């Protein structure tokens, strides 16, 4: 199992940061330009919300994901887990902590690729680097959008 964690301090109230991540429309705004996201269906925000989406990378690679909100504690925690998708296991935890008038956003990603040794090689050559870059970008964009 792989684990990646990154935090950013955002000059915005915790409730505003939580609501930003609660609105799935904002995922498009914080996704790198080389990745295309489209929603097939989305349930109502909150615990148990199911999100079905298509993701296209490298022009030709298209994957479909079904994720579900499995933990929901406004305004401090939101967890989504892959039900179906490209990973053998995927869990993203967003933790929000008040820091004075600011909010610390911590993303914790736990994942495992399929295909055993081939998946581990793909992770070390490509996937981990993509995850690190994607979440660095997401946090910078979230900070920029909420601090405007």
**pLDDT tens sequence across 75-95:** 999 999 999 999 999 999 999
**Where do the domains of the chain lie?**
2-31+75-146
pLDDT digit string (tens) for 19-37?
999 999 999 999 998 889 9
According to the model, what pLDDT value does residue 100 have?
92
Query: Cα–Cα distance between 75 and 73 in angstroms, integer?
Result: 6
Query: Cα–Cα distance between 125 and 6 in angstroms, integer?
Result: 20
Mean local confidence (pLDDT), 86-111: 97
According to the model, what pLDDT value does residue 61 have?
77
Mean local confidence (pLDDT), 4-32: 96
**pLDDT tier, 42 (very low <50, low <70, confident <90, very high otherwise):** confident
Judge contact between 83 and 66, C-beta under 8 A: yes
Calculate ∠ Cα 55-4-67, nearest 5°: 35
According to the model, what pLDDT value does residue 58 have?
66
The third-level CATH classification (topology) of the domain covering 2-31+75-146 is Alpha-D-Glucose-1,6-Bisphosphate; Chain A, domain 4 (3.30.530)
């Amino acid at each position: 199992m792989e684990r990646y964690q990154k935090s950013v301090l955002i000059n915005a109230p915790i409730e505003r940061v939580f609501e930003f991540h609660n609105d799935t429309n904002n995922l498009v705004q914080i996704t790198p330009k080389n990745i295309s996201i489209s929603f097939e269906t989305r349930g109502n925000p909150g615990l148990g919300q199911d999100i079905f989406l298509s993701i296209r990378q490298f022009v030709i690679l298209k994957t479909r994901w079904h994720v579900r909100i499995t933990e929901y504690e406004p305004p401090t925690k939101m967890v989504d887990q892959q039900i179906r998708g490209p990973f053998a296991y995927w869990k993203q935890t967003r933790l929000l902590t008040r820091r004075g008038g600011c909010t610390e956003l911590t993303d914790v990603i736990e994942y495992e690729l399929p295909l055993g040794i081939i998946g581990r090689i793909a992770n070390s050559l490509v996937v981990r680097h993509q995850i690190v870059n994607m979440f660095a970008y997401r946090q910078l964009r979230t900070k920029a959008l909420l601090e405007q």
